[in-house]
Structure formats: structure tokens, C-alpha cells
Amino acid sequence: MTLIAESKYTSPWPGGVPSSLKVKASAFKFDISSLMLSKPYSLVEGDTVKGMILRVEDADKKEYPELIGKEIEFVIYPLLLNDYLFISKSDWEEKFREFGLVLSFYLSVKLNCAITKNGTPIDLYTKANISI
């Protein structure tokens, strides 16, 4: 089972990547309610979330089927009531930048596992498919 998250648009963080995430994270992020991820799973800033790409579409509605099914990793940044999921630097460089997705794009992902900073894996929503 899993958490299916759809962004309105994935775009760069206006002030650049938060300094605590600069080593691992790209500037591209989307947000979801922290009630669905960091709060129930006790995740903190810098933990990672792994999943699979379900859909990518640019601002002109062009789809990128070659990215569907690819694994993706995010670095979490909880702030107030939201979890900002920053695409890992390596995934952004290898998957999105090379397709010219450097402004903003729509992203739908299946999130299935979190990994804490100490390396502990946490399966997400093991008994239900949750869509947000």
C-alpha cells in the first residue's frame, strides 16, 4: 500500500534550498499536509522519502512517459502545517533537468517508504492506499 501525492506544480523554493538540505536536495519541491506524512510517521527535517513517478507534465501539458515508473527520492522539510518534499539533487539532475524541466512541472508520485537520518526504513500506509 502507499501514499499517492499529486502536486499542483513542482517549482523551485523561492529563497533557494534551505541551508540544512543543500547537500542532498534540489530547489524543486511540492508540499503536502504534514498530517499525512511527517506527523503520523514522526519524520523530521532531512529524512528522505522514496517512491515512484506516476506522471510528469510540463506547464504546456506535455507529458513525459519515459519518466513513469522511475524511482524518485525526496528530502523532507516540515514547516508549520506542510511537508515540503524537495526532489533529491541527483534525481533532479538525472531525470528532470535533462528533459528541460527547469521551471515548474506537474508531478504525481507514489510514496512508499521513508528513511530516517539514522537509516531506519519506515513503510508508509501498509494497509491502505491513500490519495492526497
- pLDDT per residue over 62-91, tens digit each? 999 999 999 999 999 999 999 999 999 999
Which stretches of the chain are assigned E, i.e. beta strand? 2-6, 11-12, 25-33, 48-58, 71-79, 82-88, 105-115, 121-123, 129-131
How does pLDDT run across 84-97, given as a tens digit for each residue? Answer: 999 999 999 999 99
pTM of the entire predicted model:
0.91
